Amino acid sequence: MTAPGSAAELRRRAACRVTENWFCVNNGSSNPQASNKRTSSSNESASGQFTADQNGNVTGTLTLTAPSTPPSGFSCPPCQDLELGSVIYSPITITDSTSGATLSLGPVSSGCLLQGVKFNKVSCT
């Protein structure tokens, strides 16, 4: 904690497990087979240096992003495209490395990113 009237540099880190659900979608905007759902997971993190104001308040942003391309080895049958259907961040842990304090949040889900796609035997999330 910072004494009022003084400024302090604080190092914050956010980390989480990102789970992505990928789907094969045909030209008719359908996911024709449940076996065409693929899931991948990765660990993501972001860090930043923040300065407390004169009242000891800290404001800042750390951004956790999901990988923008599917993992290697994911493919679809001819005439289908591999599309990202949903992303789940869980658990999100924010750590203040200055004090050692932690805060856990989650899970946080993007919800279905494939609006208008018809799913057969599987849900988007």
Q: 77 pLDDT exceeds 90?
A: no
| Whole-number pLDDT of residue 18 | 92
> By percentage, how much of the chain surpasses pLDDT 90?
27
| Whole-number pLDDT of residue 56 | 80
CB neighbourhood size of 64 (10 A): 14
pTM: 0.76
Running DSSP on this structure, what letter comes out for residue 69? S
CA distance 3 to 7: 8
- Residue 73 near residue 80 (C-beta atoms within 8 A): no
- Residue 23 near residue 29 (C-beta atoms within 8 A): no
Q: 57 pLDDT exceeds 80?
A: yes
Q: 2 pLDDT exceeds 60?
A: no
Q: 41 pLDDT exceeds 50?
A: yes
Q: 1 pLDDT exceeds 50?
A: no
- The residue extents of the domains of the chain are 9-113
Q: 62 pLDDT exceeds 60?
A: yes
Residues belonging to the chain: 125
Q: 3 pLDDT exceeds 50?
A: no
